[in-house]
Structure 1
Amino acid sequence: MHKQSAKKGLGAALGTVLLLTGIAAFAGGSPASADANSTSPVSAGPATFTQAVPTGQPSQYSAPLERCANGVNYPLSGANPVLSEPVTTQFSSNVGLSESVNFSGNEYYGNWNFVFTNTSNEVLSTDCAVLIFRAPSGSDNHGYTATQQYGHPQQDYLEVPRGDGTSFYIARIDFHDVPLAQRQVSPGQSFTYSLGGIPNSVISLEQIRDSLKFTADLDLSANQALIQHYGTNRLTN
């Protein structure tokens, strides 16, 4: 199943899971990184963790397996709280991951690819995981890919401009209509989150990489408190 993620606010379809048996470096220069188009990987999170296993079948929407299948917008009445929180300057995760960022494109447009590898000893379900990071403002395309050629993800998503040419991006990866195995990443396997937009030299690839906080859903709460706290929007597919 292959769907393309939509421009923020237009509610069109999301990018879907593609087969990536290995992650290759992307070609093309970027003003956001003067001397390279790819960062080195950094690691965070524990090698072992406990993640609750949801019950239920695909398309059984009342079951825990499909807890993130449906969603709504959570509009905020005031300033987004992310603007007053400390800026993340070191990659963090509640599960064992490595992360690198590469850029494919030119000075007019390109894609930042956040490449994650499961460095833990556990099988990781990325369903309902939340990513928060900083990157150039004005992204118009964003999606998730993994080592499996299947899956049916959509997103709860929000861009929060900082007013300095960068924005905070908040995204929850939400699967539906596929078995649990198609939502999982085994030890050593990789998955990628991509963000498309116009480069801006105000932030480097390394700063983008180090700004990311990854929160896996370990207790079947769906990270619901996070997405409501930040006022995300549900993108349709």
Structure 2
Amino acid sequence: MHGKSTGRGLAASLGTVLLLAGLAAFAGGSPASADPNTTTPVSAGPADFTQAVPTGQPSQYSAPLERCANGVNHPVSGPNPILSEPLTTRFTSNVGLSEYVTFTGNQWYGTWNFVFTNTTSHILSTDCGVLVFRAPSSSDDHGYTATQPYGHPQQDYLEVPRGDGTSFYVARLGFHDVPLAQRQVAPGQSFTYALGGVPSSAITNTQIRDSLKFTADLDLKANESLIEHYGTDRLTN
């Protein structure tokens, strides 16, 4: 089963698999750049990386494979530290990815899709990967989709309003009860993180695209230090 999470918790269905139209064209060039609601793609991260492979079986919750299956809230005292950190103005990643943002909706409500493609020759596991980005405030719908069925996704998630119509968002992707292969993205394949909410003139789609930092879990430590630093909450499954 594949899922989608919301600010009200993971509801009855966690979404459906998104088969991205024009994926082959994107892998070799840009998406429909004539669309004013779709940005051009940008690339970041090394073409070569090493990612540790977890041991264990699905539903074996003490095993490294299920290291992000469960989570707890990590409240921080005082202002969130992200508010004092420099703004990210260029897409960054610790693995080779391309990214673009597309918006579907109107001035009252819509969905931003962050579309990532694995540009390396290695299989990438997105399990426990962390996204940090800036977008319009008060998102009420957010989740993960992919070009193949991904099972039982959930999130550690946080929104930090900046008071200017935009917020920082922190999300750690987590999976459970599915084999390793269903948590991976092959070379040339894509995955998408979607954010729903009300558009704001305070930030453009290009600025949203460039604000994103993706950190894959390369050492099986689950990016725990990042989510504790920012004080994420675990959304219910």
Instruction: Return the TM-score normalized by structure 2.
Output: 0.92
Q: Secondary structure at the match of 1:113?
A: strand
Alignment of 1:138-157 (within 5 A): 138-157=138-157
Counterpart secondary structure, 1:168: strand
Q: Which ranges of structure 1 fall in alignment gaps of 5 or more residues?
A: 25-34
**How far off is 1:19 after superposition?**
4.4
Q: 1:87 to 1:129 in 2, by over 3 A?
A: same
- Establish whether residue 18 from structure 1 lines up as the match of residue 17 from structure 2: yes
Looking at structure 2, the residues matched to 202 and 75 of structure 1 have their Cα atoms a distance apart, in angstroms, of 28
**Amino acid of the residue matched to residue 95 of structure 1?**
V
CA pair 17-218 structure 1, distance change in 2 beyond 3 A: farther
The farther-off stretch of 149-158 and 64-73 is 149-158
> How far did residue 189 of structure 1 move?
0.2
Q: CA deviation at 1:151?
A: 1.7
**Within the alignment, does 1:212 sit opposite 2:212 as a pair?**
yes
The one-letter amino acid of 1:94's match is N
Matched, 1:225 2:237: no
Q: Distance in 2 between matches of 1:91 and 1:52?
A: 24
1:16-165 to 2 correspondences below 5 Å: 16=15, 18-20=17-19, 22=21, 36-165=36-165
Contact 2:5-2:14 at 8 Å conserved across structures:
yes
| Cα deviation digits, residues 32-70 of structure 1 (max 9, x gap) | xxx810000000001110000000000000000000000
Change (3 A) 1:17 1:220: farther
The structural deviation recorded for 1:2 is 4.2
> What SS is found at the alignment partner of 1:12?
coil
Local SS of the residue matching 2:143 = strand
For the 8 Å contact 1:5–1:143, the answer to whether it is kept is yes
Query: How far 1:149 sits from its partner (Å)?
Result: 2.0
RMSD, matched Cα: 1.6
3-state SS of the aligned residue for 1:72? Answer: coil
Q: 1:201 offset after TM fit, Å? A: 1.1
Paired letter, 1:218: L
Check whether the contact 1:17–1:150 (CA below 8 A) recurs between aligned residues: no
Letter of the aligned partner of 1:145 in structure 2? T
Matches within 5 A, 1:195-206: 195-206=195-206
Distance of 1:63 and 1:16 partners within structure 2 = 27
Identity %: 75
**CA spacing shift, 1:21–1:202, aligned 2, 3 Å:** closer
1:16 is displaced (CA, Å) by 4.2
TM-score (norm: length of structure 1)? 0.92
For 1:198 and 1:21, the matched residues in 2 are separated by 23
The alpha-carbon deviation at position 20 of structure 1 amounts to: 1.5
Partner of 1:174: 174
Contact 2:2–2:149 (CA under 8 A) maintained in structure 1: no
Would the aligned equivalents of 2:101 and 2:205 in 1 still touch at CA under 8 Å? yes
Pair 1:22–1:185, CA change in 2 (3 A): farther
> Which ranges in structure 2 are unaligned for 5 or more consecutive residues?
24-34
Change (3 A) 1:23 1:71: farther
Aligned residues: 226
Shift of 1:147: 1.1
